[in-house]
Amino acid sequence: MTFAEQPDAILAELRGLREHDAPTHGGRVLSYVYDPGLAELDELAADAARLMQPVNGLDPTTFGSVAALERDVLGFVRELLHGDADVVGTVTTGGTESCLLAVKTARDAWVAAGRTGQPRLVIPATAHAAFQKAAHYFGLAVDLVPVSDTGAVEVAAIEERLGADVALVVVSAPSYPTATLDPVEAVAALASAHGIPVHVDACIGGLVLPFWPGLPAWDFAVPGVTSVSADLHKYGYAPKGVSVLLQRGRDRQRMQYFATTRWPGYPVVNPTILGSKSAGPLAAAWAITRALGVSGFQRLADSTRRSTSAIVAAVAGIEGLRVLGAPVGPLLAVAADPAVAPERQVDPHHWADAVRGLGFVLQLQPASGAIPSTTHLTITPVTESVLPELLAALEQGADAVRGAPHVDPTPVLGQLPPLAGPLDSDTAAGILASFGIGAGGALPESLAPLLAIIEATPPPLAERLLVELLARLVEPR
Ligand SMILES: Cc1ncc(COP(=O)(O)O)c(C=O)c1O
């Protein structure tokens, strides 16, 4: 068959598109990507994914390889997380899906226990937004427990929220925005005394905290922990599309499934949200766990820990910045240091913009509740290979913006037309344009003003504008 376009030309175009992306390898992007710095491991993962490419992960009875790989991966993670034979699980397509399914399981278990009304989901304010999404999708009320200005949640504050309508309490190990390891043991003891299940969201920490020394118990070693999510596409170094959700107790875990024989097609029995799905990321994760083994994960975590300590020490030495709270694992949130005079402070958002100009992409995080504006860093094994250059950039970036005040968004917000009712798409696009964000969705060079607008805009409006931004980005041109 002759193709409409030649494969070489198609791939050349794809390579051209990728050239404009943030680099996924080499340690220059400190969020989203988890580079072990081992090219041969990436090759192995790609080869394994390619072997499984035509397989449909929907049906492990037709494709027995899928069941075999899943068993192995679940067994590997269960052992790391101190699960016994009563802990069973599922490979999912990512952290969000694992979190969604933990909540769906809890809701169905709550209903199955004969409760009526609306179940409630109790989560610290630092819990990943995937739980707000889960509550939205599955009809639970979200009960956000405020945290301190360091991201720490009080056990007593969670205790106050416990009641018969609570279907699930979530804690993080650690949380994404502040790297807080929530008080898992204390929360699990209280919740289980009320008969309430506890999910530990270790999506980001699950494959690295087991190799971090000196931590209190946070996984299935803690009685009362009923489920744990852990992403292989984060510190499992697999390509995107693979996470695990482990649950204590077969009967509980069966609530995760959706099954129906009530249609004329094949019986549908899905542990996950998708039907047909790729088995490629699962195969890649499987191959990586086999190649690295526990000792390989330990070595990569050791490298990550050395880099994290070096960055913490460097930030502590930069006048005007401070590391927020007591971070656990390879994540950091960096804030302005209120202990120095304003003219010596470093605004974390201006800092991130300046550091990006020096070749490293940090992630700006908006102020929220008691937590001030911060900049997030995810540190990975590859960070060690660029550490001297990164530390120099962190310092130079701070020197460049020290004393520059946080962007005041009021002039921009003042230009907003009075808003009544829901925004239509064109009005939303017009407002984005007035903020300097083009119709093509191109973001401005400097992100600090955008974050200041997000911080100051009422969430429903900010959310609507961001929806417009993302939706227009993929409109065919
Ligand atoms: C703690 C935590 N939970 C859940 C998620 C969501 O994971 P994903 O982006 O794979 O859906 C993340 C992502 O960073 C996370 O850090």
Q: What amino acid occupies position 231?
A: D
Which stretch of 34-38, 339-343, 373-377, 413-417 has the lowest confidence by average pLDDT? 413-417
Average pLDDT over residues 83-100: 98
CB 373 within 8 A of CB 365: yes
Does 204 contact ligand 1 (Cβ within 6 A)? Answer: yes
pLDDT band for position 232 (cuts 50, 70, 90):
very high
Separation of CA 267 and ligand 1 centre (Å): 31
pLDDT at position 98 is 98
Mutation pick for ligand 1 pocket among 200, 204, 232 (CB with most ligand atoms within 8 Å):
204
Separation of CA 128 and ligand 1 centre (Å): 6
Does 174 contact ligand 1 (Cβ within 6 A)? Answer: no
Separation of CA 127 and ligand 1 centre (Å): 10
Does 176 contact ligand 1 (Cβ within 6 A)? Answer: yes
The verdict on pTM exceeding 0.85 is yes
Residue 102 DSSP class: H
pLDDT at position 145 is 98
Average pLDDT over residues 423-436: 88
pLDDT band for position 274 (cuts 50, 70, 90):
very high
Of 230-239, 426-435, 448-457, where does the model show the most confidence? Answer: 230-239
CB 451 within 8 A of CB 356: no
Does 331 contact ligand 1 (Cβ within 6 A)? Answer: no
151: tokens are: 């991201």
Does 99 contact ligand 1 (Cβ within 6 A)? Answer: yes
pLDDT at position 441 is 60
Calpha distance 444→453 (Å, rounded): 13
Does 172 contact ligand 1 (Cβ within 6 A)? Answer: yes
Average pLDDT over residues 26-48: 97
**Residues in CB range of 373: below 8 A, 6 or more apart:** 335, 336, 347, 348, 349, 364, 365, 366, 367, 406, 451, 455
303: left (phi over 0), alpha (psi -120 to 50) or beta: alpha
Mutation pick for ligand 1 pocket among 229, 231, 274, 379 (CB with most ligand atoms within 8 Å):
231
Atom of ligand 1 nearest to the CA of 94: 10
Q: How far is CA 281 from CA 53, 91, 137, 176, in A?
A: 9, 10, 25, 23
The answer to whether residue 434 scores a pLDDT higher than 90 is no
Nearest residue by C-alpha to atom 9 in ligand 1: 95
Mutation pick for ligand 1 pocket among 128, 232, 273 (CB with most ligand atoms within 8 Å):
128
Does 95 contact ligand 1 (Cβ within 6 A)? Answer: yes
Atom of ligand 1 nearest to the CA of 231: 10
Give the DSSP H/E element, type plus range, for residue 413. helix 410-414
The answer to whether residue 414 scores a pLDDT higher than 90 is no
Does 128 contact ligand 1 (Cβ within 6 A)? Answer: yes
For 301-341, what is each residue's pLDDT tens digit?
A: 999 999 999 999 999 999 999 999 999 999 999 999 999 99
Does 178 contact ligand 1 (Cβ within 6 A)? Answer: no
For 340-377, what is each residue's pLDDT tens digit?
A: 999 999 999 999 999 999 999 999 999 999 999 999 99
Average pLDDT over residues 27-34: 96
Average pLDDT over residues 72-100: 98
Does 203 contact ligand 1 (Cβ within 6 A)? Answer: yes
Q: For CA atoms 334, 335, 336, 337, give the dihedral sign.
A: negative
Atom of ligand 1 nearest to the CA of 240: 10
Average pLDDT over residues 419-438: 85
Does 31 contact ligand 1 (Cβ within 6 A)? Answer: no
Separation of CA 307 and ligand 1 centre (Å): 22
Does 199 contact ligand 1 (Cβ within 6 A)? Answer: no
Average pLDDT over residues 28-51: 97
pLDDT at position 416 is 75
Calpha distance 463→312 (Å, rounded): 33
Task: Identify which of 227, 284, 377 has the alpha carbon closest to the alpha carbon of residue 48.
Answer: 284
Average pLDDT value for the chain: 96
Q: For CA atoms 24, 30, 34, 39, give the dihedral sign.
A: positive
